[in-house]
Every structure is written in C-alpha cells, then in structure tokens.
Amino acid sequence: MKLSEELDRKTLIANLGGPANVAALSPEARADAMEELLQNELNRVSAGKSKYPTVAELEEQVASRPFRRGVGNTFHSVSGNVQRLPPMPAAPTLLDFFRLRFATTANHCLQSAHLALKNGESEEIILACLLHDTVQELMKADHAWWCAQLYEPYVSEKVTFAIRYHQVLRFYPDEAAGYAYPALYRTLFGEDYKPEPYIENAYRILKDHKWYHLPRAVTVNDLYAFDPASHVSIDPFVDIVGRHFKQPKDGLGFDNSPVAHMWRTIITPDRPL
Ligand SMILES: [Fe+2]
Ligand SMILES: [Fe+2]
C-alpha cells in the first residue's frame, strides 16, 4: 500500500491548517507533509497517546511556529516561500478574485457550492456556500464573522447570516439535518475542546432562530472530506452570482464601502503598511 493510502486524509488536512491550505500545495509538498504526519502519528501512538491532540498540547505548539494559526493563508506559505501574485484588473469583480486571489480557498468553496447545488438548496444557500471560507485568504481566526463582514454590502441579509453563523453551528451536531461533529475538529481544536462562551451564547440564540436552517445548510454542505484532486468549475455559479451579488461598478476594493480596505488587502497583501 502506498504511503498516501495509509493516511487519514482528514487528519492531513487538519495538520496543514484546513482544506484551504491543501489546495495550494504541490504534489511534492503534499507528499512531504504526509510523511511528517505519519511520523508524528507513529510517535504519538508509540508514546501511548491518543491520535488527537489535547487543547493543552495545541497550546504548547504556539511558540513552535513563525506565524500564528489564525493568520490568513495569503500571508504565509505552508511549504517554501510565498509567490508573487498576478496583477488584478482596475475594477475587480468577485469572479476575478476567484480566478486571481482565492488560490487556497476557491476549490474547497466551489466543491461545497457544487454539493449544495446537487442537494437542491436555494440560490442564496448555494451562494453562501460558494463564499463561506473565502475570507481565510485574509484571516482564519473567527473567519465566519470576518467573511460575513466582507460580503455584507453586496449580498442579502440571509446570505450574510448563513455565512456568519456556520462557524458556530459546525461545533454542534444536528442528526436530523445530517450533520455530525467532524473528526477534523478533534485534530484542529483538540479532543477536549469546549466552545468558548461567545460561541455557546450564539448557539443558544441560533437554535431557536427562524433562520437556523440557513447556517445549518452551510455546515451540511461544507466538505470535511475535501478532495484536493477534484476541481469544480465556477461556470455553474456565474448566473447565481449575477442574480444575488451586487457587484460594485468601481470594483471590489474601490467602491468606498466600509469593507473596501479588506478587499484591497487581498489585492495587495505585499504592501508593507
Ligand atoms: Fe468555515
Ligand atoms: Fe468550509
């Protein structure tokens, strides 16, 4: 059996910081990461430890990295140096960002949107799935709040609500909806992780909210068994974006909206100040 077949794909994805990072790796870098993961797992098991880290073990790892885990994918590389980015049009559209800037998140989000389309979700949910993790290019900590803010001027309140609260609902299983706690989170957050009070408070409000089903649909169509080898085209979603995304005529980043600076930072992340 090949090394790649022996490994738990979800654990590998978690080890690399989530599905978004995996897409950006070359096959060689992915093979190296797999080898390192296998070695770490062997070390854990031979030391009599659980396959999953504890919260305290993850905390101890903080000072072992040259960056913090919450930093956006654009700002560091999981293997080697970051690369020069292609130029963007003067008035960039959402599709330009998918093409030229969402290098580490587009594939995962397209696969989620594709699943939502296949499951017969509404166009607003399909759009929410298409956008739900794209802000991880800029920021990963509390990413759903950042992501909802990034899109708030351009989409409906329902789309924003679905994006903002998928981060909360992913910690709470809902069997009736077909959502189980992902094994990926035992690796990412620690096997003994308990959601912080602000997450619990949000969940208490959400579970009785008339729009509970919106962020729940994002978690149900989110892909935890993400396949980096599979590529979904954006073509099936172009009309949905056209109907539900208010593209500013001056371009994202240049419309003087309260979030324009966030888009500009994604366009030019190499600016020193
Ligand atoms: Fe997410
Ligand atoms: Fe996701």
**Which ligand is the nearest neighbour of the Cα of 116?**
2
Q: What does the pLDDT average to over 67-94?
A: 94
> Measured in angstroms, how far is the CA atom of residue 113 from the centroid of ligand 2?
10
> Measured in angstroms, how far is the CA atom of residue 105 from the centroid of ligand 1?
10
Structure tokens, 79: 């293997």
More confident residue, 218 or 224: 218
Predicted confidence band of residue 64 (pLDDT cuts 50, 70, 90): very high
**Which ligand is the nearest neighbour of the Cα of 135?**
1
> Measured in angstroms, how far is the CA atom of residue 109 from the centroid of ligand 2?
7
> Measured in angstroms, how far is the CA atom of residue 243 from the centroid of ligand 2?
23
**Which ligand is the nearest neighbour of the Cα of 108?**
2
> Measured in angstroms, how far is the CA atom of residue 138 from the centroid of ligand 2?
15
Predicted confidence band of residue 20 (pLDDT cuts 50, 70, 90): low
> Measured in angstroms, how far is the CA atom of residue 133 from the centroid of ligand 2?
5
Q: At residue 144, what are phi and psi to the nearest 5 degrees?
A: -70, -35
The predicted structure's pLDDT at residue 137:
97
More confident residue, 97 or 23: 97
Q: Does the structure show a pLDDT above 80 at 217? A: yes
More confident residue, 120 or 228: 120
The predicted structure's pLDDT at residue 11:
59
Q: Does the structure show a pLDDT above 90 at 105? A: yes
**Which ligand is the nearest neighbour of the Cα of 171?**
1
> Measured in angstroms, how far is the CA atom of residue 88 from the centroid of ligand 1?
26
Q: Which residues surround ligand 1, an ion (CB under 5 A)?
A: 133
Predicted confidence band of residue 22 (pLDDT cuts 50, 70, 90): low
Report d(CA 140, CA 250) in Å as an integer.
Answer: 27
The predicted structure's pLDDT at residue 51:
82
The predicted structure's pLDDT at residue 47:
81
> Measured in angstroms, how far is the CA atom of residue 43 from the centroid of ligand 1?
30
> Measured in angstroms, how far is the CA atom of residue 163 from the centroid of ligand 1?
8
Q: Which residues surround ligand 2, an ion (CB under 5 A)?
A: 133, 222
Q: What percent of the chain has pLDDT over 70?
A: 84
> Measured in angstroms, how far is the CA atom of residue 183 from the centroid of ligand 1?
15
Q: Does the structure show a pLDDT above 90 at 191? A: yes
The predicted structure's pLDDT at residue 45:
77
Kindly report, residue by residue over 141-177, the tens digit of the pLDDT: 999 999 999 999 999 999 999 999 999 999 999 999 9
> Measured in angstroms, how far is the CA atom of residue 167 from the centroid of ligand 2?
9
Contact 134, 147 (CB under 8 A): yes
**Which ligand is the nearest neighbour of the Cα of 20?**
2
The predicted structure's pLDDT at residue 5:
42
Q: What does the pLDDT average to over 193-219?
A: 98
Which residue's entry shows tokens 């599709």? 95
**Which ligand is the nearest neighbour of the Cα of 166?**
1
Show Cβ contacts of residue 134 under 8 Å, excluding neighbours closer than 6 positions.
Answer: 97, 102, 105, 106, 109, 147, 150
> Measured in angstroms, how far is the CA atom of residue 133 from the centroid of ligand 1?
5
DSSP letter string, 106-174: HHHHHHHHHHHHHTT--HHHHHHHHHTTGGGGTB-TTHHHHHHHHHTTTS-HHHHHHHHHHHHHTTS-B
The predicted structure's pLDDT at residue 44:
76
By mean pLDDT, which of 33-47, 77-91, 191-205 is the weakest?
33-47
**Which ligand is the nearest neighbour of the Cα of 109?**
2
Structure tokens, 263: 């888009």
Q: What does the pLDDT average to over 31-54?
A: 75
Report d(CA 131, CA 125) in Å as an integer.
Answer: 10
